[in-house]
Chain A
Amino acid sequence: MTPMNEPNDRLDDALKNALRRQEAPDGFADGLMARAAQQHSTPEPIHRDSWLRFLTRPLVRWATLAAVAASMVLGVHVYQVRRERAEGEAAKERLMIALHIAGAKLQLARSKVNEIRTDQSTNHQVKE
């Protein structure tokens, strides 16, 4: 790989870690196949007479309806799963924000305690 202009190993490593590939969500392939099925269930535009004759066959008619119904049910299920996952992800983000704020304020307290210790140590040395 061609080296880039700005050598910064730590930032490079951090970016590689932050931007590493993530797994696609569960159900990604199923959702894809459901969308593909919905696209393919749309009838092909062929000659009108042929279309009518084709659809008058009972078996074909019922099979087509069954396929459309199945893909709709699958589509609704996929939509519900995706919606629940989206809501869950949003709740997770709120949780992470809350924990981060709490952790950061604890760190703030630590840094203040450290400041005081440093000041006290300096004053003690000055007195000596």
Chain B
Amino acid sequence: MKKTKAIRSSKLKYYGAILALLVASSIAARTQDAKIPPDVEKLSAKAKETVEVTMDGPMLHWASKFLSADDPEEAKCAKLVANLKGIYVRSFEFDKDGAYSTADVEALRSQFRSPTWSRVVGVRSDHDGDNVDIFFKLENEKMAGIVIIAAEARELTYVNIVGPLEVDQLADLGGEFGIPKLSRRSLSKAEKGDHK
């Protein structure tokens, strides 16, 4: 009797441990592959201006149908997004330095410290405090995604692109000009569309 109870108890512990491990790894996997980590969304409350783009596979491919082959910019974008599965961007602009903390950025970076992600660039600039981290996701030794976290004095940007892409081509799209002022007006025009 005592032996049966002992065996049952140890079996319960064993299965309990397995279950806990499965749950934990599931949570970890979901977090690692979270398109927009929860920590990112919290930052919009502090931001003066937020640019949000969330496009999963079907939306991405539908949008890319409207890229014109006659326009060199758009043709290049079409080629870039052909095999992508999603693009997720959050870019926050703040009205003063120090509006977000190092801990906020570190919480973001920690999401991508795992076997499936490799940090390929980590730049810390003493001149102006700008920091940029670039992570590649590898699957079967092939690139399956990229995450960019750019922390500047009054701007914090998170980009997650899911799918294989040519990084040089993507960088070319940013150009040597840097970024235009992306205001709510630019995005709201895109959101509003041309409905009459």
Q: State the A residues within 8 Å of B (CB).
A: 23, 82-83, 85-110, 112-113, 115-116
Contact = CB atoms under 8 A, between A and B. Distances in A.
B167 interface: yes
Interface of B: 51, 53, 55, 59-60, 62-67, 70, 73-74, 77, 80-81, 87, 89, 91, 121, 123, 125, 127, 130, 132, 134, 146, 148, 150, 152, 157, 159, 161, 167, 170-176, 178-180, 182, 186-187, 189-196
A104 B159 CA distance: 11
A102 B157 CA distance: 9
A98 to B, nearest CB: 4
Chain A facing B: main interface SS: helix
A115 B194 contact: no
A81 to B, nearest CB: 12
B130 to A, nearest CB: 6
Which 5 A-B pairs rank lowest in CB-CB distance, beginning with the nearest?
A103-B174, A103-B173, A93-B190, A86-B194, A104-B174
Given A97-B53, A98-B89, A102-B174, A88 B81 contact: no
Contact of B77 (A95, A110, A112, A115): A95
